[in-house]
């Protein structure tokens, strides 16, 4: 799929997934797209774990109790390290955000749907750390997001976006 078409087709999918496995090759392609994203000062703070093992998925579902993960045949867990990139600055949030967007676009380009699940993972109840421990992730990594990946069983609903003219301008900020 053309990249601009993938961008316009991408939407956060919160429905059920078909009971069709996501191939290891497709998961790898999606993760490679994520790892190809830019990172601040090339610190490469983002790491990824694909999970398609039914037993591990069941444990992750139990920990999250998220309806968005209930039928997903695979998930990609996004990890970060808060490494200093420049002076006292770390760009880990920008790094993993860029990686996630690349993966969301790659998933759509390969015929899958997904949704960026972060708030539930990074909340005070430490679900991200519990999942990280389940996957033997070292303490210096923080789990910040989970992407369910699969073929949509329901219709994909597009979020209504504000018009271009209300959010983008040329040569200066213009009020409407």
Hey, which bits of the chain come out as E strands?
46-51, 74-80, 142-149
The pLDDT of residue 151 is 97
**pLDDT tens sequence across 38-89:** 999 888 999 999 999 999 999 999 999 888 899 999 999 999 998 888 899 8
- Domains, the chain: 3-167 (3.40.109.10)
SS3 at position 131 = helix
Percent of the chain with pLDDT over 90: 72
pTM: 0.93
Of 27-36, 135-144, 145-154, 166-175, the poorest mean pLDDT is in 166-175
Burial label, 124 (beta-carbon count in 10 A; 0-12, 13-18, 19+): exposed
More confident residue, 8 or 114: 114
**pLDDT tens sequence across 139-162:** 999 999 999 999 999 999 888 999
pLDDT mean across residues, the chain: 93
The pLDDT of residue 176 is 57
């Amino acid at each position: 799929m053309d990249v601009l078409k993938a961008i316009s087709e991408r939407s956060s999918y919160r429905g059920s997934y078909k009971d069709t496995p996501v191939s290891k090759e497709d998961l790898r392609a999606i993760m490679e797209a994520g790892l190809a994203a830019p990172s601040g000062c090339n610190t490469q703070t983002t790491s990824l774990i694909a999970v398609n093992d039914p037993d591990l998925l069941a444990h992750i579902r139990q920990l999250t109790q998220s309806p968005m993960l209930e039928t997903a045949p695979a998930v990609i867990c996004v990890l970060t390290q808060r490494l200093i990139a420049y002076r006292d600055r770390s760009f880990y949030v920008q790094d993993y955000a860029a990686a996630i967007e690349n993966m969301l676009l790659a998933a759509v380009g390969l015929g899958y749907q997904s949704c960026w699940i972060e708030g539930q993972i990074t909340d005070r109840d430490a679900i991200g750390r519990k999942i990280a421990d389940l996957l033997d992730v070292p303490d210096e990594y923080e789990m910040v997001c989970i992407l369910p990946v699969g073929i949509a069983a329901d219709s994909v609903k597009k979020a209504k976006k504000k018009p271009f003219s209300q959010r983008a301008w040329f040569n200066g900020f213009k009020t409407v």
